Amino acid sequence: CLEPVPSADVDPGLAPPPGRPWKLSEIQLGILEIWSPFAETLGLTLESSPAPESEVWLGGGPVMEALHSILDDLLLLLPAGTAVPIQWKQEPGHWSLDFSLPSGTGRVSPDSWSRSVLATAGLEWRWSDGRLSLTFREAPGLELAPPYRPWRGLVTEDLSLVGLFQGAADAGDLFL
């Protein structure tokens, strides 16, 4: 699960701890471990399906503590017996963990410290059509297609296969 980093003793003038790739399942597990027991005490349930096999980038720092100012307040607004489905949704360049809320649920706004921590970590939140979305950027270095490599050595001057293989070997790392 996401491990909080103590921030009380950290000089605010220093750079935040570095980020790293996180599996979506790790993030979901961290959220469920913290907020499912809290939801149960309020008579609520968080419903989730298995997280997709993908990774997102998340900066360091006390991210889970900062999420308390959004998720705690949100759960306190809901009537007992409410089921809150959560699901992952992929969009270009990021993944969102969506919390579907009953109609008429008010919005919550994180305090300034939480907004700062979440922004520094690269996590955004947004409200849309009765849904709270926590948005995570895809991990750097994830590529959906192989990188472009030049097409060299395919045809030689004398059109012989020996020339083809020799040209490819001379050119080095090719994508054929």
- Tokens at residue 1, please? 């699960």
Asked whether residue 25 carries a pLDDT value surpassing 80, the answer given is yes
Q: Are 89 and 96 in contact (CB under 8 A)?
A: yes
Identify the pLDDT of residue 147. 44
Asked whether residue 138 carries a pLDDT value surpassing 80, the answer given is yes
Provide the sign of the torsion angle of the four alpha carbons 145, 137, 78, 41, taken in this order. Answer: positive
Angle at CA of residue 27, ends 73 and 102, nearest 5°:
40
Q: At what angle do helices 63-77 and 24-41 cross, to 10 degrees?
A: 40
Asked whether residue 3 carries a pLDDT value surpassing 90, the answer given is no
Identify the pLDDT of residue 38. 96
Nearest to 110 by CA among 78, 65, 80: 65
Mean pLDDT for 8-35 is: 77
Identify the pLDDT of residue 79. 94
For the whole prediction, is pTM greater than 0.85? no
